[in-house]
Amino acid sequence: MVHTPQPGRSVVFADGVRTPFGKARPDGLYAETRADDLVVACLRELLRRNPALPPERVEEVAIAAATQSGDQGLVLGRSTALLAGLPVTTPGYAIDRWCAGAMTAVTTTAASIAVGALDVALAGGVEHMGHHPLGAGMDPNPRFLTERIVSPDALDMGKTAEALHDRFPQLTRQRADAYAAASQQKFAKAVANGQVGADLVPVAVAGSAQGWGLASADELARPETTVEALAGLRTPFRPHGRVTAGNASPLTDGATACLLTAEETAAELGLAPRMRLVSFAYAGVQPEVMGLGPIPSTEKALAKAGLGVDDIGLFELNEAFAVQVLSFLDHFGIPDDDERVNPYGGAIAIGHPLAASGVRLMTQLARQFSEHPEVRYGVTALCVGLGQGGTVVWENTAWEGER
């Protein structure tokens, strides 16, 4: 199919970075590091890597967090911009769409660029789940349950994953475990090939016991994982269930950020854009099966772009749970081991710091595009707690075909 350009200015993803992802535990990489300092490290690295960009040309900073309190509060976009040394004239704001926070930061600022309100923006997300466990401090309205607006299981992400197994019997634990083991193996291979480290921002970390150190590599991967080992793990969300710690993403600390510009601005500044935004969409589903969210959001985004799933050469799908990715693949008729899907592995191995993950997907897709000039289109997609999905369709600026 032929993509029909949407009205407005063309928006490009010029660069993306992330911190190494750490275990959200008292002995994790970032146990004694502030969440906002993780964002600052990413913003500073983007400016360092792109010296052609004058800091005063950054017109907006949008940073997402699912828990906006403590070291993840205080209007993250504005506060981290100031801490990163951007001019006092640079405004910023915070965003919350749970797991799609950073993705929403990207699409919101991109929309502003498309209509001409901005030329340059920084967007990203952070989640320090060691400081802010999922759901901490929340006070859900009791009417959700008393008026049966949602199922009692809707606010427990593990139970929503078990619900997908219930709804689709073909999504067996064996398939989930096999997918999870493959994710670990693909990530280990990508690390060994140097495909991951180039986009990591080393972070200085302090510990009261060990003193100063440097976080320079992801902490959560288990490259020794086998299907046989996964089969022996307990199912914490339900007796005799199918969701385990091995086929789900671990609790994670980390931050991401990216540089977005109008395509004409990138040319003016001499930046080398890596991807062009084609379309995006968000969609809602029943909260108790929130993992299905990326299915309708992807259908909407592809329809807006005038594309079909067969036009997509690379998929970066967030692996909140293996069963969630498998439900997406089954819906679109994509094999579990399709080489287009998460070539570097995914969140099961890397980690999923909630609001930060959307830009992690984009940064990986951008690097994969550079390795595959024969691929024109790619997709980043994820599910969102409380029953949503988000999808962005991207065009490879390194594509070598004819327009």
Q: What would the two tokens of residue 9 be? A: 């200015």
- Give the β-pairing of 312-317 and 61-64: unpaired
Residue 258 is a catalytic residue: no
C-beta separation of 62 from 108 below 8 A = yes
> What Å distances lie between residue 122 and 74, 125, 266, CA to CA?
17, 10, 14
pLDDT at residue number 7: 66
Residue 99 is a catalytic residue: yes
Task: For CA atoms 188, 192, 194, 195, give the dihedral sign.
Answer: negative
Q: What would the two tokens of residue 19 be? A: 């911190």
Q: Which of 128, 131, 132, 352 is catalytic?
A: 352
Q: Which of 99, 165, 258, 372 is catalytic?
A: 99
pLDDT at residue number 3: 52
Predicted TM-score (pTM) of this structure: 0.97
Query: What are the residues facing 388 on neighbouring strands?
Result: 284, 384
pLDDT at residue number 130: 97
pLDDT at residue number 268: 98
- Give the β-pairing of 61-64 and 92-95: parallel
Helix (DSSP H) and strand (DSSP E) numbers for the chain: 12, 12
Pick the CATH number of 11-131+185-225+247-392 from 3.40.50.300, 3.40.47.10, 3.30.9.10, 3.20.20.150: 3.40.47.10
Residue 42 is a catalytic residue: no
The maximal CA–CA distance of the chain, rounded, in angstroms, is: 59
The angle formed by the CA atoms of residues 1, 323 and 256, to the nearest 5 degrees, is 75
Task: List the chain pLDDT tens, one digit each, 403 residues.
Answer: 545 545 689 999 999 999 999 999 999 999 999 999 999 999 999 999 999 999 999 999 999 999 999 999 999 999 999 999 999 999 999 999 999 999 999 999 999 999 999 999 999 999 999 999 988 888 999 998 899 899 888 989 999 999 999 999 999 999 999 999 999 999 999 999 999 999 999 999 987 777 889 999 999 999 999 999 999 999 999 999 999 999 999 999 999 999 999 999 999 999 999 999 999 999 999 999 999 999 999 999 999 999 999 999 999 999 999 999 999 999 999 999 999 999 999 999 999 999 999 999 999 999 999 999 999 999 999 999 999 999 999 999 999 887 6
Helix 173-192 vs helix 322-332: angle between axes, to the nearest 10 degrees?
A: 100
Count CA within 13 A, CB hemisphere, residue 374.
1
* Single-letter amino acid code for the residue at 288: E
Task: Report the alpha-carbon distance of residue 232 to residue 181 in Å, rounded.
Answer: 13
* Domain parsing of the chain, residue ranges: 11-131+185-225+247-392
pLDDT at residue number 206: 85
> What Å distances lie between residue 271 and 13, 14, 274, 383, CA to CA?
10, 7, 9, 32
